[in-house]
């Protein structure tokens, strides 16, 4: 029986080709996760900083449809019932999934996050704009996900 994967060999699970780092995740856990998960499962997860302080909630997982890669997690922060809330596109490589605590960790201080390019629900940026995307990745200190050298530049391994 032939492989259903269109390439020569399927990539290994949780490859080191970029993406969110996974902490406290057993590869042999029953069911999906933490290495393969639905977007609906991830949306609503808390996002904390390295000290464990709440930064907000993961509101959306944004896909780069042509490449089939996750481009950003959209962090929702502040506001009451969505009023006054700010959204931030966080490069997926900047996030760490803490499977044990069922949250994401973003290793930036609150001031740096507040200076990130933010937006509101009614005024989304053109996320496919290369200049905007490069600024966002630069702000969070990770190589753009579409860069061939992003694995080497980000220094992240799993």
The per-residue pLDDT for range 12-48, each reduced to its tens digit, is 443 445 667 777 655 566 666 667 788 888 889 999 9
Residue 2 lies in a domain: no
158 within 8 A of 14, measured Cβ to Cβ: yes
Q: Kindly report the CATH number assigned to the domain that includes residue 111.
A: 2.30.30.240
Q: pTM score, two decimals?
A: 0.75
Q: Does residue 155 form part of some domain?
A: no
Q: What is the DSSP letter of 100?
A: T
Whole-angstrom Cα distance, residue 10 to residue 118? 37
Q: Which residues pair with 123 in a beta bridge?
A: 120
Instruction: Identify whether 3 is part of a domain.
Output: no
Domain contains 9: no
**For 107-152, how does the pLDDT look when each residue is reduced to its tens digit (9 = 90+)?**
998 899 999 999 998 999 998 898 999 999 999 999 988 885 444 4
For residue 126, being part of any structural domain is answered with yes
What is the count of structural domains for the chain? 1
Distance between terminal CA atoms of the chain?
A: 31
In a domain, 42, yes or no: yes
In a domain, 5, yes or no: no
Domain that holds residue 94: 21-142
Residue 8 covered by a domain: no
Rounded to 5 degrees, φ, ψ at 21 are -75, 150
């Amino acid at each position: 029986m032939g492989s259903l994967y269109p390439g020569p060999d399927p990539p290994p699970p949780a490859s080191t080709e970029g993406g969110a780092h996974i902490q406290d995740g057993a590869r042999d856990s029953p069911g999906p996760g933490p290495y393969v998960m639905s977007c609906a499962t991830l949306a609503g997860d808390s996002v904390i900083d390295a000290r464990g302080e709440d930064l907000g909630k993961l509101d959306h997982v944004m896909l780069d449809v042509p490449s089939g890669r996750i481009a950003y997690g959209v962090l929702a922060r502040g506001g009451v019932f969505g009023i006054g809330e700010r959204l931030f596109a966080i490069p997926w490589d900047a996030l760490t999934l803490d499977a044990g605590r069922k949250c994401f960790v973003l290793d930036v201080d609150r001031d740096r996050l507040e200076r990130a390019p933010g937006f509101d629900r009614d005024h989304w940026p053109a996320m496919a704009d290369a200049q905007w995307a490069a600024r966002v990745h630069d702000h969070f200190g990770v190589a753009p996900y579409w860069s061939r050298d992003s694995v080497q530049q980000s220094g992240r391994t799993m």
